[in-house]
Amino acid sequence: MFPRKIKEIRRKFIIGIDETNNGMSLESSNPHYQNATIVTGYMMEDPNRANYGSARHEGKGWAFGNQGNLERNLERGNEYLDGHPDFFYTLITEQAATNNPLSILKAEAITRITLQFLLKYPFLNTQNTYLIADEMDGPKISKDIHKNLRSNLYQSGLRGLPHTFKRNADRNVIAVRRADTVGYCLAGMHLFNKTKNWPRKSRMIPTESLIRLMDEFYYMDEGKYDSES
Domain 12-224 has CATH 3.30.420.10: yes
| Cα(229)–Cα(153) distance, integer angstroms | 10
Per-residue pLDDT of the chain (229 residues), as tens digits, is 444 544 455 689 999 999 988 776 666 666 667 778 999 999 998 755 444 444 444 556 656 555 556 677 788 888 899 999 999 999 998 888 889 999 999 999 999 999 999 999 999 999 999 999 988 878 788 889 999 999 999 988 888 899 999 888 888 888 999 999 999 889 888 877 777 788 899 999 998 889 999 888 877 754 444 444 4
Q: What is the pLDDT of residue 47?
A: 56
User: What count of residues does the chain have?
Assistant: 229
Pairing of strands 13-20, 129-134: parallel
Q: What is the pLDDT of residue 6?
A: 43
Q: Taking the model in full, what pTM does it have? A: 0.84
Q: What is the pLDDT of residue 65?
A: 57
Which residues make Cβ contacts (< 8 Å) with residue 59, sequence separation at least 6? Answer: none
Q: What is the pLDDT of residue 189?
A: 83
Q: What is the pLDDT of residue 202?
A: 95
CA distance readout (Å), 46 to 8, 15, 87, 197? 13, 9, 15, 33
Q: What is the pLDDT of residue 1?
A: 46
Angle, vertex CA 97, rays to CA 20 and CA 168, nearest 5: 35
